[in-house]
Structure 1
Amino acid sequence: MNKEEWIEAALPKYIVTNPTLQEEIQDLSPKDQQDQTRWAFEDEAEALNIETWELALRFSSKSEDEIQALRLAVHKEAAEALDMDWDEYCELNAVEV
């Protein structure tokens, strides 16, 4: 799975944890409900000061060790794509190894 697939898989689990949001969007079309859920999910990730895909991992059935390994793998990809030293990347992005 990639980051976007993690997010899509997390949204149905996320909405179940938010009865207030469910009530607010119940009269919207299915597409609008999906959009509102996604935006609320993104807002929650921002409020927690984490990436949306990191919040999605919290809604997965993976163990904490698996989540940490996936999180580090994504950050390593980003560091490589930016051609940054791993230690420097971790320091700048508050990644704890």
Structure 2
Amino acid sequence: MTELTQEQRHEQALEKYILDVPDLKEEIKDLSPDDQKDQIQWAFEDEAEAQGLQPWELTLKYTSTPEEFEAQRLVLHKEAAEVLGVEWEEYCEMNNLVV
């Protein structure tokens, strides 16, 4: 199996997400395809925030098993900490991560 790009993974997550929110699908059915896509994206971002996650974390949650989600989430957070030049423990505190 080939590894999905982040964009492909996100598209897959949005497709699964809209199945979980039939009310949203009904609300936006008369909008243009582009407007529907925007509304789904915004609702997805709101859902991530409601769950205390970043949108990329919710994407992972929709496209992986719970075990893969936790492992991949930590890898990406560690990469973010390195890019930001922040010590891992400090980064975890700043982002309310429990490891």
The alignment's TM-score, normalised by the length of structure 1, stands at 0.89
Tell me the CA shift for residue 54 of structure 1.
1.1
Deviates further, 73-82 or 3-12: 3-12
Q: Tell whether 2:82 aligns with 1:90.
A: no
Tell me the CA shift for residue 15 of structure 1.
0.6
Tell me the CA shift for residue 7 of structure 1.
2.1
CA deviation string 1:35-72 (max 9, x = no partner):
11011101111122210111112211x22221111100
Q: Which runs of 5+ in 2 are unaligned?
A: none
Aligned residue pairs: how many?
Answer: 96
What is aligned with 1:73?
Answer: 75
* Partners of 2:59 and 2:96 in 1: CA distance: 19
Quote the RMSD (CA, aligned, Å).
1.4
What is aligned with 1:25?
Answer: 28
Once the two structures are superposed, the pairs formed by residues 40-55 of structure 1 within 5 Å of their partners are 40-55=43-58
Q: Which runs of 5+ in 1 are unaligned?
A: none
* Partners of 1:4 and 1:94 in 2: CA distance: 26
* Partners of 2:6 and 2:81 in 1: CA distance: 16
The alignment's TM-score, normalised by the length of structure 2, stands at 0.87
What is aligned with 1:35?
Answer: 38
